[in-house]
Amino acid sequence: MAKKIMFTGGGSAGHVSVNLALIPRFQAEGWTVEYIGSHTGIEKQLVANVPGVKYFGIATGKLRRYLDWNNVKDPFRVVKGVFQASRTIKRSKPDVIFSKGGFVSVPVVLGAKLNRVPVIIHESDITPGLANRIAIPFATKVCTTFSDTDRHLPAGKAHYVGPIIREALNRGSLAHGRAWTGFTNDKPVLLVMGGSLGSRKINLAVREALPSLLERYQVLHLCGKSQTDDTVRAPGYMQVEYIQDELPDVLTMTDLVVSRAGANSIFEFLHLRKPMLLIPLTKAQSRGDQILNAESFRKAGYSDVLPEENLTAKELVSRIDRLYDNRQTYIKQMEAGAPHTDALANVIDLIKRVAKEH
């Protein structure tokens, strides 16, 4: 009898990308695949592009670390989401649920517990995020990307798998990337990524630095949702909110990357041997997980790190030039030290084992 798996996770592209890497593998083996996410989050948009996946929307509440009137209302949304998720799971009867995290996953994990459906959580960062910390007590297993994460988890639940890399990234086409962007082979390509939600400070610094950057590079600028600026135009510069299908082609033609330090993204850059300048979210903006991720990569010799507090247009250009000048050193270090685990196969084997035991 065919098995059924339900995925959850959302709020940002990083909380969906691992799921998108796993879904085709289970579909290819005849599993029924479903997804629970929010009604309007980026996860709904991304999953809509995957054929054969039934999507269920539930109420969600954001887990904030700062004072906000929505903190009063959101617990009620979470409770509503738990009932909606529980009802959906009861009707659907999945054999296992895989959670990538984000605030939308909390009601789903709790709903799974109410229905005695096993849950496998994936934690990308060195330390678990708030949503996963709430959900972990109700999970069967927790897959980790960093081996150091084990010491932050209950004994017996941690399962180190390594970084999950989307298989599509290995099939990028240089010709397609150049055709899509209109870039040539005359100058190196700089890819700037502020995350799916964007970064206003990074975007402003890039635009201010653009005249200097374009002297040496072609710049593809991923600005984030609603953060493009149509008044900024120049030969060799392209800005978009976000890319999905074209990402493998774009990364193939990219020579160096400026990025936030979300674990999923930086491990993909590491896999593809792309020298990185990481600008992690500050502790004022987050729990500090990206700072830990970035520092780990800096110590390993995979990247340079520019704290956002020190970000100026002048410093950005200086660090990018230094990164490019020393690119071969970074590439050699990445070739020597990158993890060689087949994380995708490890996770799939674990999911199958847990589903079989259910």
Dihedral of alpha carbons 325, 328, 331, 332, sign: negative
Q: Where is pLDDT greater, at 76 or 262?
A: 262
Distance between CA atoms of residues 256 and 101, nearest Å? 29
Residues 92 and 148 reside in one and the same domain:
yes
- On whether the pTM is more than 0.75, the answer is yes
Q: Which residue reads 């050193």 in tokens?
A: 329
Average pLDDT for residues 289-310, to the nearest whole number? 95
Residues 149 and 113 reside in one and the same domain:
yes
Residues 326 and 350 reside in one and the same domain:
no
Residues 326 and 347 reside in one and the same domain:
no
Q: Where is pLDDT greater, at 17 or 4?
A: 4
What is the model's pLDDT at position 205? 95
Residues 296 and 327 reside in one and the same domain:
yes
**DSSP states of 100-114 as a string?**
--STTHHHHHHHHHH
Percent over 90 (pLDDT), the chain: 71
What is the model's pLDDT at position 345? 93
Residues 136 and 175 reside in one and the same domain:
no
Residue range of the domain that includes 72: 4-162+341-357
Distance between CA atoms of residues 29 and 23, nearest Å? 10
Q: Please, which contacts does 47-51 make with residues 24 or more away whose CB atoms are closer than 8 Å?
A: 47/16, 47/19, 47/20, 49/244, 49/245, 50/20, 50/23, 50/24
- pLDDT tens-digit map of 311-330: 999 999 999 999 999 999 99
CATH number at residue 183: 3.40.50.2000
Question: What number of CA atoms fall less than 13 Å from residue 344's CA on the CB side?
Answer: 17
> Closest Cα to residue 83, out of 61, 110, 56?
110
Residues 63 and 86 reside in one and the same domain:
yes
Q: Are 282 and 261 in contact (CB under 8 A)?
A: no
Angle at CA 193, nearest 5°, toward 188 and 199?
135
pLDDT at 196 over 70: no
Phi, psi of 191 (to 5 degrees): -105, 125
Residues 349 and 298 reside in one and the same domain:
no
Distance between CA atoms of residues 100 and 19, nearest Å? 7
- pLDDT tens-digit map of 207-256: 999 999 999 999 999 998 888 998 999 999 999 998 888 999 999 999 99
Distance between CA atoms of residues 351 and 333, nearest Å? 33
Q: Are 275 and 342 in contact (CB under 8 A)?
A: no
How many structural domains does the chain have? 2
Q: Rounding to the nearest 10 degrees, give the CA dihedral for residues 312, 221, 15, 162.
A: -80
- Cβ neighbours of 281 (radius 10 Å): 20
Q: Are 86 and 115 in contact (CB under 8 A)?
A: yes
What is the model's pLDDT at position 63? 55
Residues 176 and 269 reside in one and the same domain:
yes
Confidence grade of residue 71 (pLDDT, cut at 50, 70, 90): low
Q: What is the mean pLDDT of the chain?
A: 91
Residues 6+ apart with CB under 8 A from 309: 282
Joined together, the tokens standing for residue 273 give 């041997």
Residues 130 and 21 reside in one and the same domain:
yes
- pLDDT tens-digit map of 126-165: 888 888 999 999 999 999 998 889 888 988 899 999 998 8
Name the least confident of 72-76, 197-201, 260-264. Answer: 72-76
What is the model's pLDDT at position 122? 95
- pLDDT tens-digit map of 327-348: 999 999 999 988 887 899 999 9
Residues 175 and 274 reside in one and the same domain:
yes
Residues 315 and 351 reside in one and the same domain:
no
**Rounded to an integer, what is the distance from CA 146 to the centroid of its chain?**
15
pLDDT at 72 over 70: no
pLDDT at 60 over 80: yes
